[in-house]
Structures are given as structure tokens and as C-alpha cells.
Amino acid sequence: MTTPRSTTCRFEPDPDGVDPAQVPRVPLAGGATLPAVGMGTFGSDRYGPEDVAAAVADGLRVGYRLIDCAEVYGNEAQVGAVLGDALAGGLARDELFVVSKVWNDHHAPADVAAAARRSLTNLRLDHLDAYLVHWPFPNHHGPGADVAERDPHARPYVHEAFMETWAAMERLVDEGLVRHLGTSNMTIPKLRGVLADARIAPAVNEMELHPTFQQGELFQFCLDHDVRPLGYSPLGSPSRPERDRTEADLADADLPEVRRIAERRGVHPAVVCLLWAVARGQVPIPFSVKRPQYLSSLQAVVSDPLTPEEQDSLRGAERNNRLIKGPVFLWPGAGSWLDLWDVDGTIPGWDGYGSPTAR
């Protein structure tokens, strides 16, 4: 009698990678910790699902344990196949920290639950370590949207509606499907309201963070309220979609403050951006499908930290250089993308757009 051959391959760490036990851990409210750096999975409309999944598969082998996913990235099934294989091959589930996000067209409470279950099925997991509301507006755009594209049903932020979405998120925690909740693309006024009214507070807030866009006030607000900032576009998103590019945008890698340190250390400017992020206490989630890049990003967090002088000099790199401005999420009648970010400290309401009940 022959023994059936197992089709499951053992999960084999790559000896050229980084031992995950050496990667510093960052605490979350409630006592859990997560690795100091993660791997992004948004292909920026230029890298397909198979490329991203292959990078995640190898990323796990070289030592990444935090993976930032979202349904709208259009690759959770492919990334899930990779996660499923790694777990079946012996990678311990509690070593992994997997994030996903509910997209803007699923803010209705019943849709939140359905979206979370779909992400779980696609990612081949029985729970998510964190589930985030991707944007605070239920304003949809499809993958590959053009900068001029608008959802005709788009509207400004409505706190009561957001809290209904949030209550549905909280029920996912009650059901054991999600360990931590999170927000993304928030502002201080919006977060203040959520923190006041939530039964389960956000443990993380995913926000754009790189040396030329440090979001000092929001960043400190998060730390003061035990909300861990996850830093997206931590390298200044050099391959971001066309809709997220304007002529005024700066490249972090070209900034004198960043370049000087990179040259002195003999590293790529991306490494300096990551050292800055880790020193500050945010968790960066760089994206790459290129092995030398994602390996060097992981190695960065176990290399010599920035000196206090280098940190001081990078504090001076702030240029208010928001790259992911989000114009595709604007509503009819809105002024500019600045309306999404509450820049004067207030949340633009329905004034001028008609009341919610009239719509």
C-alpha cells in the first residue's frame, strides 16, 4: 500500500531573509503587538494580483509578518492563496498580523459584515487581526479610476452614518471575526467624534506618513489616544497611480535632508524613510514586488537606528506634501480635495449639498 503524497509544501523561511524574532514589535492598545514594518499590497494599478501575491509569498519567507490588504486592491484571493499555503505549510497563525479594509461602497451595516466575510474567505483566514474602514466617506470609485471621475451619490462625512458603519465593525469583534478595529484617512475632528461615540475604539489609524508629510498634529493625537498610526506610502509612493499625481508633488527620495543621510550611510533614500518611520513610532507598510527592495525595507528596521541628530534633521523635511489627496472621493459641489481633510479644523457638512433626508 502506498502512502498518499502530501500536496502541502512546508513553509521554509529563507536564510537570506530576516529572522522575524529580530524585528522590533510595536504595542497596540489592549496588549497585542505587531511587527515594526509590514508589507503593502496595493499594486497602484500597475502591478497585477499574481505579482503582488508572489511578493507576499516571498515576503513571508524573508520575514514579513504584517500584511496590509484591502478588498479594493483586487488581489485578496491571490494573496489569500499564498497565506493559506504558508499556514498549511506550518507558519503559525499567531505570528501573522493581517489587516484588511472595508471599501467605500460597503458602509451599510449589512454590507460591512458581508465584506468582512468575503475578505476572510478570500484571505483564507478565520479572523483578521485588524479590520479598517478604508475611507470615512461612502463615496465609491472603481479600480483604475481617472482623476476626474466622481461618484454621483458621493456626499460629505456624516458622523451618525459613520457610527452605524462602526457599530457593524464592532459586531465583527463581538463575533470573533476581527481582533482590532481601525480607521484610515481620518482627521482629528472625525477621530475625536469616533473616539467619543465608539464602544470599541480604533486601535490603529492608517494614514499617509513620509518625511515630507509628517502630519504632526494628527500623529500626536493618535499617540495621545492610544491609536497606533500605520504609515501608508512611507517611501513617498513613487509608483502611485496617475490620478494621485500633481506637478507640485515632491519626491521624498530627492529631498536634501533624506539624501544627505542616505549618502552618509551608503543606503537608498527609501531606507532612510523607513528608519525615520520606525524611530517615530509609526508602523510603515512599504509596497514592492521587487525582491531587493522588499528585502532591504525589512532589513532597514533591524539596522542601525537614526541618531538623534538625524531624527532632528528629518523633522525639518516636513513640506506638507500630501500625495494621496483623494479628489475622486469628492461630492458634487465640493470645493477641492482639501474639503476631504478638514484643514480648517471643521468637517464640511451638508450645507450647499441638500440635507441627508432630502436626498
The CA distance from 208 to 27, in Å, is 20
The CA distance from 34 to 39, in Å, is 12
Task: Using CB under 6 A, count the residues that bind ligand NAP.
Answer: 29
Taken as a whole, the chain contains a residue count of 359
* Residue keyed to cell 515630507: 212
Contact flag: residue 119 with ligand NAP (CB under 6 A): no
- Chain positions 122 to 161 lying near ligand NAP, rule: CB under 6 A, are 134
The angle subtended at Cα 238 by Cα 234 and Cα 243, nearest 5°, is: 105
β-strand pairing of 178-184 with 128-133: parallel
Contact flag: residue 44 with ligand NAP (CB under 6 A): yes
CB of 263 to ligand NAP, least distance (A): 15
Pick between residue 68 and residue 310 the one whose CB is nearest to ligand NAP: 68
**DSSP one-letter code for 252:** G
β-strand pairing of 33-35 with 204-208: unpaired
Pick between residue 146 and residue 174 the one whose CB is nearest to ligand NAP: 146
Binding-site residues for substrate, please? 134
CB of 359 to ligand NAP, least distance (A): 26
Lookup: cell for 160: 451618525
**DSSP one-letter code for 333:** T
Catalytic residue among 47, 64, 73, 232: 73
Contact flag: residue 77 with ligand NAP (CB under 6 A): no
Query: For the range 240-248, what are the long-range contacts, defined as Cβ-Cβ under 8 Å and sequence gap of 24 or more?
Result: 240/44, 240/323, 240/324, 241/44, 241/45, 241/46, 241/144, 242/146, 242/147, 243/145, 243/146, 243/147, 243/149, 243/327, 243/328, 244/323, 244/324, 244/325, 245/323, 246/325
- Chain positions 206 to 265 lying near ligand NAP, rule: CB under 6 A, are 206, 232-240
Binding-site residues, please? 134
Question: Quick one: which of 188, 190, 181 has its CA closest to 162?
Answer: 190
Site string for ligand NAP, 88-117 (x = CB under 6 A): ------------------------------
Among 205, 214, 297, 313, binds ligand NAP (CB under 6 A): 297
CB of 92 to ligand NAP, least distance (A): 23
The CA distance from 43 to 240, in Å, is 9
Active site residue 73: yes
Q: Which one of the spans 83-91, 158-166, 281-289, 329-337 is the region binding ligand NAP (CB under 6 A)?
A: 281-289
Among 30, 146, 290, 336, binds ligand NAP (CB under 6 A): 290
Among 122, 183, 184, 321, binds ligand NAP (CB under 6 A): 184
Give the residue numbers annotated as catalytic, written as ranges: 73
**Residues in the site for ligand NAP, rule: CB under 6 A?**
40-42, 44, 68, 134, 184-185, 206, 232-240, 268, 270, 285-288, 290, 293, 296-297, 324
